[in-house]
A and B are shown apart, each in its own frame.
Chain A
């Protein structure tokens, strides 16, 4: 079976995926990950042996229906304790680097 073309994960692709995942990777990491992902995806490709066209995908392992609750106000987490975990905050807000010019 021909197993190459559409899912090759070269360094450029890993770089692009890392951008989507918002992780900066070193050149060395990119190279290592690209070769490791190739191996892992080759292994995963055994799933292509199966004919699953008519099989429904699993959406939930139990036969649960949509779970809804009444829209009632409930107790929230204490603001000060919650904000304490933030690397930077001011008043009741999280502070992030400037986004808008």
Chain B
């Protein structure tokens, strides 16, 4: 095996033995990227030289391991553009807290950032100003989104592991489409300081990795209280890798009947049933449960997420950073015209659609009918989960109702695209931790993912279930042929 194919856990061992150097890992990734990324497009701004010289790195538990970073997480002196024209040329003068933490543990921030839907608006990574990312398992299919570049880079061995962000499924859905592990932590577990905000009550940062062990390893580093993020929670973090050990006999998992419905692809359903059977063998106890307000989650989400987005994206106005399109300065209202022209040229189609929808939902006369009502239904969705978690430790569902769909298949029908997030959105609305792990393939050879949701701050339980499952299956070891 080449170094780029290994996990962080495996590489750390080799580094410690002294049989490889950090430079070898970088050079192996560089070679891989040069060979295949013109097809995949997992990385953006590829004209930047990936130097092979490694800067001074600190001692720490990730010493010498490169991490790929999504283009919406601020990296000091490294362009961060959210794959949007409006942030062209933006170079953050500071590191996001997650980046600081990685560096302080000796990790290397990979000099190329990963592709994404503009401002994380999308479920296919087709809304990027750098063009779509293609699925390593079949280049005619999407990678999912919005963290599609991170998921594809990990799946295609162009990265050891990566960070993504998840507002409605943007880590889990692409991880499932690409056959890798994706983890959405509990809201408040990981600092968002330095994440360019999409929907502040939903956004989280999390790992995308080749297996569950690496996921726990990366989560260890990025978790924890940060005074710079007022929503981060001051509770002690555990060593998640230690939590993986031990069996899962007697763990109770709920299967919500609302998720096994019409619209769920037959092959996906079969893979999930097989995974359930496997987990039963390991001693997990399953029971059918009900989350009665599931069918409202997408509608609630697209009001709350767009309302918050329209407010968060007001800062892109051509004044402090990024693109500016000047109207003639002699004109009356020249400033307003500058704003309008800049935002017209700078935002892509989906960003405009969401800003308009969100502005509408918050506008005078509509606020109560849309935004307030959505926040009330959100309460009902949270209560559904609280009820189920009285009797279950976890909930298991498919990550997505289908495997990856074809490029351009849904791009002209926003509603159809929004519905592809139907199984992942609820965890964001309720702030719950959730993981997607590979659980097989369709006949066409496309990966299928299984989602496990847990109680708030019970990351170790879902990681343990996922790890036990992984130890008894081979799906995470499959590699796409490229």
Q: Which residues of chain B in 330-368 are interfacial with respect to chain A, using CB atoms and an 8 Å cutoff? A: 334-341, 343-344, 347, 352-353, 355-357, 359-360, 363, 366
Which residues of B lie under 8 Å from residue A44 when comparing CB positions?
A: 299, 302-303, 370
Say yes or no: is B188 at the interface (Cβ < 8 Å to chain A): yes
Say yes or no: is A46 at the interface (Cβ < 8 Å to chain B): yes
Say yes or no: is B8 at the interface (Cβ < 8 Å to chain A): no
Q: How many residues of A contact B (CB 8 A)?
A: 51
Identify whether the interface residues of A are mostly helix, strand, loop, or mixed: loop
The residue on B at minimum CB distance from A53 is: B376
Task: Tell me how many residue pairs across A and B have CB atoms closer than 8 Å.
Answer: 161
Which residues of B lie under 8 Å from residue A6 when comparing CB positions?
A: 369
Say yes or no: is B425 at the interface (Cβ < 8 Å to chain A): no
Which residues of B lie under 8 Å from residue A33 when comparing CB positions?
A: 352-353, 356
Partner of A99, one of B298, B335, B415: B335
Give the interface centre of A22, A25, A39, A81 by most chain B CB atoms within 10 Å: A22
Known contacts A62-B233, A97-B335, A36 near B414 by CB under 8 Å:
yes
Q: How many residues of B contact A (CB 8 A)?
A: 72
Say yes or no: is A1 at the interface (Cβ < 8 Å to chain B): no
* Bound CA span A38–B95, Å: 41
Instruction: Let me know if B324 and A88 touch, CB within 8 A.
Output: yes
Identify whether the interface residues of B are mostly helix, strand, loop, or mixed: helix
Q: Which residues of chain A in 67-81 are interfacial with respect to chain B, using CB atoms and an 8 Å cutoff? A: 67, 69, 77-78, 81
Say yes or no: is B106 at the interface (Cβ < 8 Å to chain A): no
Which residues of A lie under 8 Å from residue B220 when comparing CB positions?
A: none
Instruction: Let me know if B321 and A86 touch, CB within 8 A.
Output: yes
B182 to chain A, nearest CB (A): 20
A37 to chain B, nearest CB (A): 6
* Bound CA span A66–B415, Å: 37
A25 to chain B, nearest CB (A): 7
The residue on B at minimum CB distance from A101 is: B332
Between A and B, 28 residue pairs with Cβ closer than 8 Å are: A21-B343, A21-B355, A22-B340, A23-B343, A23-B355, A24-B341, A40-B357, A44-B303, A46-B299, A52-B380, A55-B377, A58-B201, A58-B378, A61-B187, A61-B456, A62-B233, A67-B231, A78-B93, A82-B93, A84-B91, A96-B319, A97-B326, A97-B327, A97-B337, A97-B338, A98-B334, A98-B335, A99-B335
Given contacts A25-B344, A44-B302, A87-B321, 12 further A-B contacts (CB under 8 A): A17-B360, A33-B356, A40-B414, A44-B299, A44-B370, A47-B374, A50-B380, A55-B376, A55-B377, A62-B188, A62-B431, A99-B335
